[in-house]
Amino acid sequence: MGQSYDAIDDALQQWLTEQRIFFVGTAPLSAAGHINCSPKGGDTLRVLGPRELAYLEGGGSGIETVAHLRENGRMVIMVCAFSGSPRIVRFHGKGSVVLPDDPGFGALLALFPPTVTVRSIIRLAVERIADSCGYGVPKMQFVEDRDDMKRYVVKASDKAMRDYFVRTNRESIDGLPGLAAAELEHVLIRRD
């Protein structure tokens, strides 16, 4: 049977660090809009405080999360245990987008290991924490992190990468504003 938590305590934080994947859910205000659910992997999730999470968002082929958060801020992060005891924990709250040229971005970025692209850091002010059994989640074994993005970025020029981001990150699939061209100029691209 599921339970709710007042805060992210040490035990929950430890459990979070052991998980290899999490999912982010957002939605536009429009009932006709598309709900977004994005899987996130690697070492990209951090606990910032008893009721605050952040994750590193790399450059991508869509901008749904950013567009939805800028429109209404609603977000849920769901973490499932694919090994060990069955468990699912959902963190509901208000999300915000921290861009590379925003104050405080550098301090947040320092909490994460280097990655090939960084479009933003997403913060979640957690309003509700609840778990459920996870009996329906299969046991799976982690093999390795993918290196496809790194291989792609190494081959592409800065111009090709920026053109791609402008083409795919200016608006959501429902036409909500994503990132402006000037904001996309600040996406971090690393090849080392």
Instruction: State the DSSP H helix or E strand holding residue 11, giving kind and residue range, or none if neither.
Output: helix 10-18
Question: Do the Cβ atoms of 190 and 115 come closer than 8 Å?
Answer: yes
* CA pair distance 162, 187, nearest whole angstrom: 8
pLDDT digits (tens, 9 = 90+) for 123-133: 999 999 999 99
Residue 61: domain span: 4-189
Assign residue 105 a region: left if phi > 0, alpha if psi is -120 to 50, beta otherwise? alpha
Domain count, the chain: 1
Q: Domain of 37: which CATH number? A: 2.30.110.10
pTM of the model: 0.95
Tokens of 141: 């074994």
pLDDT average per 10 residues of sequence, the chain (192 residues): 92 97 98 97 96 95 96 98 96 98 96 94 98 95 92 90 93 97 91 72
* CA pair distance 91, 53, nearest whole angstrom: 9
